[in-house]
Amino acid sequence: MITKEEKQQLVNEFGNNPDDTGTPEVQIAIFSKRIERLTDHLKNHPKDFSTRHGLLKLVGKRRRLLNYLQAEDIERYRSIISELGLRK
């Protein structure tokens, strides 16, 4: 899990205003941070299959949000991809 402070920092960085938690950019950033944390956890605990299942669900959610954003506004999609460093 990410702390409230980390989540607020992501909202301030990617959102339109300090209370903006619903835009796809903010949600993608939050999911990316959670995915990063779960990936680190799985490196230390490779047999934790319930966490692996949760990680795969999060990756799917993020992928769907990215697909939505790509269909709606390609420039916003490109900017979030480059800021988070998702595509290489």
58 in Cβ contact with 34 (< 8 Å): yes
Q: What is the pLDDT of residue 87?
A: 82
Would you state the pLDDT for residue 4? 94
Structural contact between residues 33 and 6, judged by C-beta atoms closer than 8 angstroms: yes
Indicate the domain borders of the chain: 4-84
Tell me what pLDDT residue 88 has.
55
pLDDT along the chain (88 residues), means of 10: 93 91 94 97 97 97 96 95 88
The per-residue pLDDT for 77 is 95
pTM recorded for the entire structure? 0.93
Task: Please choose, from the candidates 31, 22, 23, 43, the residue with its C-alpha nearest in 3D space to the C-alpha of residue 1.
Answer: 31
Architecture of domain 4-84 in this structure: Orthogonal Bundle (1.10)
